[in-house]
Amino acid sequence: MTGSDTVEVSIQVAATPEELFPYFTDPLRYVQWMGQQAQLDPVPGGVYRTQMGDGFGAEGSFLEIDPPVRLVFTWGWAAGAGQAVLSGPAEDSALPPGSTRVEVMLVAEGPGTLLTLRHCDLPTADLREGHRIAWQTYLDRLAVRAAGGDPGRDPHSE
């Protein structure tokens, strides 16, 4: 169940939870499906920071780590990052670093995994829709990469 301030995206991935989990915790694997740089310290209180090729960035901290089935981190616009990707100028202050919460759940299903991502505490309909589209795009890329494919050029690269 999701609240009115929450976006939920689910996708079936042809990889086990054990194979998929490191794509959220290992910076070298993370940038294979999203962003061009990642600083990840996957322990409670550890840093979560990503940078896209177009200047957009997000930052927060890890809250919960339960390999290989669940992780939770906070998320918000990185200080000074170009926020035009998912918001307009009036919305920039609506998502300061760490102001929202992202939950990732990995459930083994047959030979693969059902990945469900919930992004909570998004204050406006426009932000929710923008994040739903972005997460769906990136999770589709993750599914390709985790299955051994090449997801192609990041849609937010320069």
pLDDT digits (tens, 9 = 90+) for 124-149: 999 999 999 999 999 999 999 999 99
CATH number for the domain formed by residue range(s) 7-146: 3.30.530.20
Residues 121, 4 contacting (CB under 8 angstroms): no
150 or 93, which is more confident? 150
- Calpha distance 50→27 (Å, rounded): 9
Listed in sequence order, the residues at least 6 apart from 79 whose beta carbon sits closer than 8 Å to its beta carbon are 59, 97
Listed in sequence order, the residues at least 6 apart from 150 whose beta carbon sits closer than 8 Å to its beta carbon are 144
Residue with tokens 């499906």: 33
Domain spans, the chain:
7-146
Query: CA-CA distances (angstroms) from residue 74 to 15, 104, 133, 139?
Result: 25, 12, 19, 18
* pLDDT confidence of residue 154: 84
